[in-house]
Structure 1
């Protein structure tokens, strides 16, 4: 009796990366397939976002050739090739894929406006519902007891860090946002002088920046308290923090929504003001100091300005 061919379904899955498969198969590729292979290796993230027509056109080959290239790598077709190529880039690619799907739907500008505002409303409500009484109380006390407060956050979180510094500076002797023009190297130098009694507040949301996580880990080693503001307790930042405040930040057409994060920042500032012993006198002094620069509506009407 002859031997039967092995059932393909019974074969172990090919766990090699697409880059490894391409390297192993390169010698057997045609000239057109080599162009596809070289381009995929040079621009994996870009190719993972391309349709098969875009990929074929970019490399100057036919769609059929692109399909054959994908199958030569041990996948059924181009869609599976893109999935395999995107492994490790899932979070970075997710907003792009959502945008690609949305653009294929017939929606007016006002539909997108309304959907975006609804997402913000939903994120804020989810954030409110998930508040932890213990974590909120610990966060407020950490701010009030800190000798110095350092805030780290880069990218869009850098703007949020500045707003957090503005709010807390009224109630803390020293608050510094390290998301300044000096960038990560400046932040690293400042954090090198941390000491017990200091508080580091780190902000990071998908897509999480490596620099923020690295600096947050350095803060932990210095024995300073680390307060994370992130999207979940098991995020790369939340999992290493002493205290964690979470804000839902999901967004259909963008990687993140900052609305709920800003709301959480303002909530922390309000809670600190509420429990600060000097909040009333601070507010009075602030009002007095800015009075000369305030414009009164009635006066503007009379002067015509």
Structure 2
């Protein structure tokens, strides 16, 4: 699964019964079991085709450890676990394949611009299927209660961070865009002020910036809550965050598409705005303040 349409299947796998078992092992199992669970969650489709020797090599463990892992999570053998993995992935991919086929069988050649817009539509559809209002509300509450909200993105993702910060400023006590003109050096300088009661919101999309993961881990070590906005459950930031909001980012030419990322930002901000009466009053007051500076801005 290499396209953005795979996001819905990835999320469906993570939320399946087997995915939940693997997530539990990855969170609290032994070191070797965590390694296997993490590998399977990052490569569920590949795992359906690997022999036990290949799986052991990929996880850097012995074949005996792989067999023991399969038994410990309720399967009679490695083969039984692999079959269950294949069945789970088949179920997860059915709606994805239906969408893929509907696009493939359309008549006539598609112009690049039309293909790009169609890709954006698919990314938005996949994102909507992976995003729940409950998760948006949980993140909105976390941001609202934070002493300071830090937002971090590198490269193209820095524009998403700036957009979120601009939207949050009227509703939060203190919002800090971590990566300014100085890049990682400036971002690292903010870490000394982080601690419990703060929230770090990270943006991480292909091509993933390693510095985002390093800075987020440092923030976690200081007790700061971490929210990740990223593209798939197998993305590097997904396993490091307290909350994850997924935005499908596949594109046929660019390294990633930002359409769904912007939509998730707007969905999060709107969820935060309507979460309490105080924020609604702030929004109304903001409109009054800025209306005089707008064209025909008589309120």
**Normalising by the residue count of structure 2, what TM-score does the alignment of the two structures yield?**
0.61
Query: Whole-Å Cα distance in 2 between the matches of residues 199 and 160 of structure 1?
Result: 16
Structure 2 residue matching 1:151: 3-state secondary structure: strand
Are 1:200 and 1:226, in contact at CA under 8 Å, matched by a contact in 2?
Answer: yes
Are 1:171 and 1:276, in contact at CA under 8 Å, matched by a contact in 2?
Answer: no
The superposition leaves residues 65-124 of structure 1 with CA deviations (integer Å, 9 ceiling, x where unpaired) of xxxxxxxxxxxxxxxxxxxxxxxxxxxxxxxxxxxxxxxxx97xx811111011111101
Q: Offset of 1:282 from its aligned partner?
A: 1.1
2:278 is equivalent to residue 268 of structure 1: no
2:170 is equivalent to residue 166 of structure 1: no
Structure 2 residue matching 1:140: 3-state secondary structure: helix
The superposition leaves residues 123-178 of structure 1 with CA deviations (integer Å, 9 ceiling, x where unpaired) of 01110011134432321111111111000101000011000001111210111111
Tell me the equivalent position of 1:151: 151
Query: Whole-Å Cα distance in 2 between the matches of residues 177 and 252 of structure 1?
Result: 30
Tell me the equivalent position of 1:287: 287
The correspondence of residues 101-116 of structure 1 with structure 2, limited to 5 A, is 111-116=111-116
Larger radius of gyration: 1
Query: Whole-Å Cα distance in 1 between the matches of residues 153 and 175 of structure 2?
Result: 14
The correspondence of residues 129-148 of structure 1 with structure 2, limited to 5 A, is 129-148=129-148
Query: Whole-Å Cα distance in 2 between the matches of residues 171 and 201 of structure 1?
Result: 15
Name segments (4+ residues, structure 1) moved above 4 Å. Answer: none
Tell me the equivalent position of 2:179: 179
Are 2:195 and 2:219, in contact at CA under 8 Å, matched by a contact in 1?
Answer: no
Query: Whole-Å Cα distance in 1 between the matches of residues 116 and 170 of structure 2?
Result: 33
Structure 2 residue matching 1:272: 3-state secondary structure: helix
2:191 is equivalent to residue 191 of structure 1: yes
Query: Whole-Å Cα distance in 1 between the matches of residues 266 and 133 of structure 2?
Result: 17
Query: Whole-Å Cα distance in 2 between the matches of residues 283 and 297 of structure 1?
Result: 16
Query: Whole-Å Cα distance in 1 between the matches of residues 212 and 230 of structure 2?
Result: 11
2:257 is equivalent to residue 241 of structure 1: no
**Normalising by the residue count of structure 1, what TM-score does the alignment of the two structures yield?**
0.60
Query: Whole-Å Cα distance in 1 between the matches of residues 133 and 162 of structure 2?
Result: 26
Query: Whole-Å Cα distance in 1 between the matches of residues 207 and 192 of structure 2?
Result: 26
Query: Whole-Å Cα distance in 2 between the matches of residues 288 and 297 of structure 1?
Result: 9
The superposition leaves residues 173-193 of structure 1 with CA deviations (integer Å, 9 ceiling, x where unpaired) of 111111211211111110121
The superposition leaves residues 232-269 of structure 1 with CA deviations (integer Å, 9 ceiling, x where unpaired) of 22311011111100010110111100000000000000
The superposition leaves residues 182-232 of structure 1 with CA deviations (integer Å, 9 ceiling, x where unpaired) of 211111110121110000000001111011111111111111100000012
The correspondence of residues 11-50 of structure 1 with structure 2, limited to 5 A, is none
Q: Offset of 1:293 from its aligned partner?
A: 1.5
The correspondence of residues 213-224 of structure 1 with structure 2, limited to 5 A, is 213-224=213-224
Are 1:144 and 1:276, in contact at CA under 8 Å, matched by a contact in 2?
Answer: no
Tell me the equivalent position of 1:202: 202
User: Residues 129, 195 of structure 1: CA spacing in aligned structure 2 closer, same or farther, 3 A cutoff?
Assistant: same
Structure 2 residue matching 1:275: 3-state secondary structure: coil
Which 5+ residue runs of structure 1 have no aligned equivalent? 1-105, 299-305
Query: Whole-Å Cα distance in 1 between the matches of residues 293 and 138 of structure 2?
Result: 37
Higher RCO structure, 1 or 2 (CA under 8 Å, sep 6+): 2
Query: Whole-Å Cα distance in 2 between the matches of residues 200 and 138 of structure 1?
Result: 14
Which 5+ residue runs of structure 2 have no aligned equivalent? 1-107
Tell me the equivalent position of 1:257: 257
